[in-house]
A = this chain, B = another copy of it.
């Protein structure tokens, strides 16, 4: 998943151990840092702790990243691989009906992002946005906007094929985004702290949410009689 990890991955070959470790270092550090930043936030994470979790000393961390802030930025960059082109292609070739496409989209998002450690990044950025506005802007540009364009393209396909009826594209897009954000924040914030007498199964939630949204999007003749927005206040 991570470029660095990938490089470091060739591990059982005959190679000087020192050499191999050197190549693996940045990846190990970024790994450790991701966990800790997600868990405790930027400020509460101590550089030494990151180093320790990566199995190196404090000094080594600063051998690879010039400052804690740069480490943070590297963590973000590392985990934002622009996978959107690939996904676009994948959806370009999708042949089923659009409701299935949306279901697949959300399922795939969960499997590849939501359920993976990458989701921590979103939590991290949302939590630290105000302290790292440039990172936030970068993320907006590199992740949020491409993601929303992808969703919008699916919705548009549904509309074009007469499958969906969408009153407001922008807000429909947010409707699909919201449960993802919600899920991530649950997973990494409240959910991590709360006794599990009731735990949500994210996959079921995603499915349930997809169906609920779909019922809303599905075009039907009688839909016109429902009070649509536009009613909308102020």
Contacts and interface: CB of A to CB of B under 8 A. Distances in A.
Contact of A207 (B179, B182, B226, B229): B229
Interface stretch (A24-32, A57-65, A87-95, A213-221): A213-221
A174 B185 contact: no
Contacts of A190: 125-126, 129, 136, 139-140, 144
Given A137-B195, A209-B175, A39 B232 contact: no
A177 B182 contact: yes
A41 B128 contact: yes
Contacts of A172: 208, 212
Nearest to A127: B127
Q: Which of A126, A136, A229 has the most CB of B within 10 A?
A: A229
A178 interface: yes
Contacts of A39: 130
Interface string A108-130: 00000000000000000111111
A116 to B, nearest CB: 15
B209 A212 contact: no
Contacts of A208: 167-168, 171-172, 174-175, 229, 232
Interface stretch (A8-16, A76-84, A198-206): A198-206
Given A107-B233, A195-B137, A204 B131 contact: no
Contacts of A230: 207
B233 A203 contact: yes
Contacts of A192: 129-130
18 contacts: A41-B128, A44-B131, A125-B189, A126-B190, A129-B192, A129-B193, A130-B192, A136-B194, A140-B190, A171-B200, A171-B208, A174-B179, A175-B212, A204-B232, A214-B226, A215-B216, A215-B218, A215-B226
